[in-house]
Structure 1
Amino acid sequence: MHLPQLFAYLLPLCLSAAATHLSAPSGPYNVGFTQHIFNHTTPNDPTPGPGNIFLTSIYYPTRSVPSPNTSVAYFDATSAAIWGDVFNILPSHLLSLETTLQWQAPLLSDKEDVEKIKNWPTLVFGPGGGMNAGYFTSLLSDLASQGYTVLALDHPGEAPYLPLPYGNPGVVGWDIYMPYTDSLIVEMYEYRRAEMVALLGPDGFPALVELYGAYFNTQQYGAFGHSIGAATATGAMDGLDSIVAGFNIDGGLFGDSVNASLKGRPYFMTMNPNHFASDPDTWISFAERYANESKTEGGWLDWTTVEGSAHLAFSDISLWVELLPKIENATEKVDLGNVSGTRMDEILKTYVVSFFEWVTCGRYDEKLLDGEVEAWPEVVFNAKVRSDGHGTDGQNLGEGHA
């Protein structure tokens, strides 16, 4: 559906609806939120966007108590109409979603808090193709509530609509049903990777932190993402030693990320059971190469499948569909699997938080990170690599998945 069509019915459908809350973040802190537009040129930008900026959303811990005056809206009206049409949800119901994010809340000031987390790696996130980073708010805010600073990137013009802060007009992008060719996906990967590298470079996030005198870590990063955002994180990790660990959420590898060499840095891969239908070999070859490198480099890798899941279920979308009323008698357009949104949200948070907690603090949950656990029977381990280069689930990492 194109934007002009949307405005014809946007107003009558956007009537008031009772507020709906995502699950509260599980960490000890509340969550502050701000955004910054970075100047960065994308040569021959394939999207309808301006090609000279990218947007970074920053999630960070705060002790400030949430209030209606500082709360951040989940949806804007334009995006609610677009995405509501896809998932058979009235725009008014999507607009009823509320976050616990607080716009530009004060940073932590307690010395004990600051000393505890100022050296934790800053986490940088890439969303799935054509999706706004805000559609992963549940996961990103949960990480911030644990004490992490989280940076999430958006490329204006890729998603159907991206609202921009500080009075700037939002950017209309590709149609939501945009067909992605293999060559276009590589172009997307290349501009995404360039933006992530620029963000972590001296003129990006480090310069912003210096300008405002914040305590955020600009020396070490963890990189993660969903779909093409995961490829972006992997490619950036290959090129930047400052990225100490990576987490791939159901993302095939594209461009030079296919041959990424991680030099033994920790890496977690999780996927839906149909992943190999669209990506038959990049994960297998990546894991096998990682295992071979680990014989000399050392290393740690987990590769799991969440049985019953689907690609978009690794985002907040599965929560929208579970928590909000659906339009009656509407035809389902997107498969979200048969794991509930709340369950998927809990699974993803549990593993991502546990992984980065180990990387950051050395607290290693052997029960969770070394194999199947009773609490999460959906999570099946396909392979593991440890420092001797051998997988504890067998050495043919691609066995059973070709």
Structure 2
Amino acid sequence: MHIPNALISLLPLGLLAVAVRLPAPSGPYNVGFTQHIFNHSTPNDPTPGPGTSYLTSIFYPTRSSLAPNTSVPYFDPTSAAIWGEVFNILPADLESLETTLQWQAPLLSAKDDVERVKDRPTLVFSPGGGMNAAYFTSLLSDLASQGYTVLALDHPGEAPYLPLPYGNPGVVGWDIYMPYSDALIVEIYQFRRADMLHLLGPSGFPALVETYGAYFNTEAYGAFGHSIGGATATGAMDRNRNIIAGFNIDGGLFGDSVNASMHGRPYFMTMNPNHLAQDADSWPAFATRYYNESKTAPGWLDWTTVEGSAHLAFSDVALWVELLPQIPNTTAQVDLGNVTGTRMDSLLKSYAGAFWEFVRGGEYDGKLLDGEVEEWPEVVFNARVRSNGTQGY
């Protein structure tokens, strides 16, 4: 793990940092948050981590009101130093980011609230490669505020540093600048998929829900992810029919996810304009196969491009760079495109929210899901597949 001395020496300046809050969730509920470490061994784990467990962060709706200065911290000091170097942001400024998450806030208790949310699919999220799930907090919080239970997975040892709850020591992982070979990417996909399938299996989330007597849905799931997390969600869908829909956020398909069959389950894929320069084959082949399957079976697929975006703009990273000051006379070393962080944040929340609302059987927002709209001119539709036919493919 590489933490530059120059950045460490700047940490005392954090006393001057002013708290900056992520965009507020848009739903009717506040957001509770808890974490659980599941025991699950990864054979021949390639990471520096123990290979014996994974961390699940649980976002859920609550009616509890957030008290001042009690939200779940966004950054821990070690991670802030690591990621601050990449984006030329003082660690103290990254630590100043605030969430609206409430640690282990009470579950919904009013009968009307419980009835409204208990049958929504539980959404399972896998982050981009080498990234902590926490760096997608804005989107995950927003979905929870809409009434969904959201599970986000972290594999200890993959990200440069992963803080663990309940007094457990954090886990140091691969260096943030480590290059990824094609073979290693497939290995990452395989242990990510194994973690997700274990989480949805009898000894994972269902057992945890039974232990605590919660109303969370353990019969129907939605799977989604960013980058390699998109492949994780797709591969898990191929092996678990309780996953009723998938959302791939700018993620190429790897390993056996390339040939995953959706059996007509809804699938949304969105990418940056340069995606096909690195992944010329997997998305077009997937969409073609889905289209061919839809001729004889139900089907629903959207494939969009967000013009002006870049790969990391689909995460909270673009918000860090927009909302926080950079170290003077420096620029971010990673391309985030020319769409602002707050606009990308609103855009992704809008489309993800509309998609999951459709999946759960709620109101269908054809304005967003069926083609280009004036509100989001940067969203271009590459393909739409519908049951027993196609529109715009």
Query: TM-score range, shorter-chain basis?
Result: over 0.9
Secondary structure (helix, strand or coil) at the match of 2:108 reads coil
Instruction: Report if the CA contact (8 A) 2:75-2:95 is conserved.
Output: yes
Aligned AA for 1:303? Answer: W
1:258-297 Cα shifts (integer Å, max 9, x gaps): 0000000000000000001111110000000000111112
Q: Measure, in 2, the Cα distance between the counterparts of 1:156 and 1:130.
A: 10
Deviates more, 1:10-19 or 1:284-293: 10-19
Q: Measure, in 2, the Cα distance between the counterparts of 1:313 and 1:248.
A: 14
Please name the residue that 2:49 is paired with.
49
Aligned AA for 2:385? Answer: V
Secondary structure (helix, strand or coil) at the match of 2:296 reads helix
Please name the residue that 1:239 is paired with.
239
Aligned AA for 1:112? Answer: D
* Structure 2 length-normalised TM: 0.98
Secondary structure (helix, strand or coil) at the match of 1:105 reads coil
Please name the residue that 1:393 is paired with.
392
Q: Measure, in 1, the Cα distance between the counterparts of 2:326 and 2:7.
A: 20
Please name the residue that 1:262 is paired with.
262
Q: Measure, in 1, the Cα distance between the counterparts of 2:100 and 2:130.
A: 24
* Structure 1 length-normalised TM: 0.96
Q: Measure, in 1, the Cα distance between the counterparts of 2:11 and 2:44.
A: 36
The alignment covers a number of residue pairs equal to: 393
Deviates more, 1:188-197 or 1:5-14: 5-14
Q: Measure, in 2, the Cα distance between the counterparts of 1:79 and 1:108.
A: 32
Please name the residue that 2:19 is paired with.
19
Aligned AA for 1:351? Answer: Y
Instruction: Report if the CA contact (8 A) 2:7-2:85 is conserved.
Output: no
Secondary structure (helix, strand or coil) at the match of 2:32 reads strand
Please name the residue that 1:309 is paired with.
309
- CA shift, 1:348, in A, is 0.3
Please name the residue that 2:299 is paired with.
299
Instruction: Report if the CA contact (8 A) 1:38-1:204 is conserved.
Output: yes
- CA shift, 1:10, in A, is 5.8
Aligned AA for 1:371? Answer: G
Q: Measure, in 1, the Cα distance between the counterparts of 2:48 and 2:133.
A: 18
Instruction: Report if the CA contact (8 A) 1:298-1:389 is conserved.
Output: no
- CA shift, 1:300, in A, is 0.3
Secondary structure (helix, strand or coil) at the match of 2:153 reads strand
Q: Measure, in 2, the Cα distance between the counterparts of 1:10 and 1:205.
A: 41
Aligned AA for 1:204? Answer: G
1:341-395 Cα shifts (integer Å, max 9, x gaps): 00000110000000000111331111110000000000000011000132x113x
Q: Measure, in 1, the Cα distance between the counterparts of 2:7 and 2:37.
A: 27
Aligned AA for 1:19? Answer: A
Please name the residue that 1:346 is paired with.
346
Aligned AA for 2:392? Answer: D
1:190-211 Cα shifts (integer Å, max 9, x gaps): 0000000000000000000000
Instruction: Report if the CA contact (8 A) 1:293-1:389 is conserved.
Output: no
Instruction: Report if the CA contact (8 A) 2:7-2:91 is conserved.
Output: no
Q: Measure, in 1, the Cα distance between the counterparts of 2:82 and 2:361.
A: 41
Aligned AA for 1:393? Answer: G
Q: Measure, in 2, the Cα distance between the counterparts of 1:286 and 1:137.
A: 29
- CA shift, 1:8, in A, is 4.5
Please name the residue that 2:249 is paired with.
249
Q: Which runs of 5+ in 2 are unaligned?
A: none
Q: Report whether the alignment pairs 1:144 with 2:144.
A: yes
Please name the residue that 1:285 is paired with.
285
Structure-2 change in CA distance of 1:325 and 1:69 (3 Å)? closer
Q: Which runs of 5+ in 1 are unaligned?
A: 395-402
Please name the residue that 2:159 is paired with.
159
Q: Measure, in 1, the Cα distance between the counterparts of 2:355 and 2:83.
A: 31
Aligned AA for 1:126? Answer: S
Aligned AA for 1:322? Answer: E
Q: Measure, in 1, the Cα distance between the counterparts of 2:118 and 2:362.
A: 16
Deviates more, 1:11-20 or 1:169-178: 11-20
Secondary structure (helix, strand or coil) at the match of 1:296 reads coil
Q: Measure, in 1, the Cα distance between the counterparts of 2:323 and 2:7.
A: 25
Instruction: Report if the CA contact (8 A) 2:294-2:389 is conserved.
Output: yes
Q: Measure, in 2, the Cα distance between the counterparts of 1:281 and 1:389.
A: 23
Q: Report whether the alignment pairs 1:228 with 2:228.
A: yes
Aligned AA for 1:58? Answer: I
Instruction: Report if the CA contact (8 A) 1:64-1:105 is conserved.
Output: yes
Instruction: Report if the CA contact (8 A) 1:6-1:82 is conserved.
Output: no
Structure-2 change in CA distance of 1:3 and 1:85 (3 Å)? closer
Q: Measure, in 2, the Cα distance between the counterparts of 1:85 and 1:4.
A: 7
Please name the residue that 1:376 is paired with.
376
Equivalent runs, 1:32-43 vs 2, <5 Å? 32-43=32-43
Secondary structure (helix, strand or coil) at the match of 1:302 reads strand
Q: Measure, in 1, the Cα distance between the counterparts of 2:392 and 2:4.
A: 53
Please name the residue that 1:107 is paired with.
107
- CA shift, 1:4, in A, is 7.4
Please name the residue that 2:71 is paired with.
71
1:94-119 Cα shifts (integer Å, max 9, x gaps): 01100000000000000000011101
Q: Measure, in 1, the Cα distance between the counterparts of 2:92 and 2:219.
A: 43
Please name the residue that 2:119 is paired with.
119
Instruction: Report if the CA contact (8 A) 1:6-1:81 is conserved.
Output: no
Please name the residue that 1:195 is paired with.
195
Give the CA RMSD over aligned residues.
Answer: 1.2
Secondary structure (helix, strand or coil) at the match of 1:128 reads coil
Q: Measure, in 2, the Cα distance between the counterparts of 1:42 and 1:210.
A: 25
- CA shift, 1:131, in A, is 0.2
Aligned AA for 1:50? Answer: P
Please name the residue that 2:360 is paired with.
360
